[in-house]
A and B are shown apart, each in its own frame.
Chain A
Amino acid sequence: MVSTSETKMAYPPETTAYAPENKMSPTSTEGTKSATATAKLRAANVNFHYGSFHALHDVSMEFQENKVTALIGPSGCGKSTFLRNLNRINETLRDTRLEGEITLDGQNIMDFDITEVRRRVGMVFQRPNPFPKSIFENIIYGPKINGMLKGTSAAEIVEKSLRRAALWEEAKDKLHESAYALSGGQQQRLCIARALAVNPEVLLLDEPCSALDPIATAKIEDLLVSLKDQCTIVIVTHNMQQAARVADTTGFFLMGRLIEHAKTDMIFKNPACKETEDYITGRFG
Chain B
Amino acid sequence: MATSSAAIGPAGKSASRRQPFGDEVAYAVTWFFATLILGLTLWVVFELWTHSSESISKFGFHFLTTKLWNPVTDEFGALPFIYGTVLTSVLALLISVPVGVGAAIYLSELAPTKLSNALTFLVELLAAVPSVIYGLMAIFTLVPLMRDYIGPAVQAVAGKLPFFAGHVYGVGYLTAALILAIMIFPYIISVSREALMSVPRDQREAALALGATKWESTWQVVVPYARLGILGSVFLALARAIGETMAVTLVIGNDPAIHASLFAPGYTIAAVIANEFTEATGKVYLSSLIELGLVLFALTMILNAAAQLLIVLTTGKGTARG
- A residues sitting closer than 8 Å to B (CB atoms) are 9, 11, 87, 89, 92, 94, 115-116, 118-119, 122-123, 125-127, 129-134, 137, 141-142, 145-146, 176-180, 191, 194-195, 198
Per the 8 Å Cβ criterion, residues 301-322 of B in contact with A are: 317-321
The residue from A123, A131, A177 contacting B209, defined by CB atoms under 8 A apart: A123
B321 contact set on A, CB distance < 8 A: 132, 180
> For B202, what are the chain A residues with a Cβ–Cβ distance below 8 Å?
125-127, 129
**B47 located at the interface, meaning its Cβ lies under 8 Å from any Cβ of chain A in the complex:** no
Give complex CA distance A127, B206 in Å.
11
Q: Please, what's the 1-or-0 string for B218-248, where 1 marks a CB less than 8 Å from any CB in chain A?
A: 0011001100000000000000000000000
**Cα(A127)–Cα(B201), bound, Å:** 11
8 Å CB interface, B90-143 against A:
110, 113
- State the CA gap A177–B216 with chains docked (Å): 23
* B208 lies within 8 A of A131 (CB): no
Is the Cβ of A194 less than 8 Å from the Cβ of B317? no
B200 partner residues in chain A, CB cutoff 8 A: 129
What are 27 A-B pairs with beta-carbon distances under 8 A?
A89-B209, A92-B208, A94-B113, A116-B211, A118-B209, A118-B210, A123-B205, A125-B202, A125-B206, A129-B200, A131-B221, A132-B318, A133-B224, A133-B319, A137-B318, A141-B207, A141-B220, A145-B210, A145-B211, A145-B220, A146-B210, A176-B317, A176-B318, A177-B317, A177-B318, A179-B318, A198-B210
Would you call the interface of chain B mostly helix, strand, loop, or mixed? helix
Report whether A115 and B318 are in contact in the complex, using a CB–CB cutoff of 8 Å.
Answer: no
Q: What separation, in Å, do the CA atoms of A71 and B273 have in the docked complex?
A: 71
- In the A-B complex, the 3 residue pairs with the smallest Cβ-Cβ separation, listed nearest first, are A119-B211, A132-B320, A142-B210
Q: How far is the CA of A137 from the CA of B200 in the complex (A)?
A: 19
**Residue in chain A with minimal CB distance to B227:** A132
Contact status A129-B203, CB under 8 Å? yes
Q: How far is the CA of A236 from the CA of B288 in the complex (A)?
A: 72
Q: Which residue numbers of B lie inside 8 Å of A, CB to CB?
A: 110, 113, 200, 202-214, 216, 220-221, 224-225, 317-321
Bound Cα distance A147, B95 (Å): 34
* Contact of A191 with B210 in the complex, beta carbons under 8 Å: no
| Bound complex: CA A87 to CA B208 (Å) | 10
Question: Is A92 a contact of B318 with CB atoms below 8 Å?
Answer: no
Q: Does A115 lie within 8 Å of B211, measured CB to CB?
A: yes
Q: Are B318 and A133 in contact (CB under 8 A)?
A: yes
CB distance from A119 to the nearest CB of B (A): 4
Known: A129-B202, A129-B203, A145-B220. A11 touches B318 (CB 8 A): no
A9 contacts B221, C-beta separation under 8 Å: no
A125-B205, A142-B210, A180-B321 given; 15 more Cβ-contact pairs under 8 Å? A92-B204, A92-B205, A94-B113, A115-B211, A118-B212, A119-B211, A129-B206, A130-B206, A132-B318, A132-B319, A137-B318, A145-B210, A146-B210, A176-B318, A178-B319
Whole-angstrom CA separation of A137 from B318 in the bound complex: 9
Q: B206: which of A115, A131, A137 is its contact (CB, 8 Å)? A: A131
User: Which residues in A have their C-beta under 8 angstroms from that of B319?
Assistant: 132-133, 178
A178 to B316 alpha-carbon distance, docked (Å)? 9
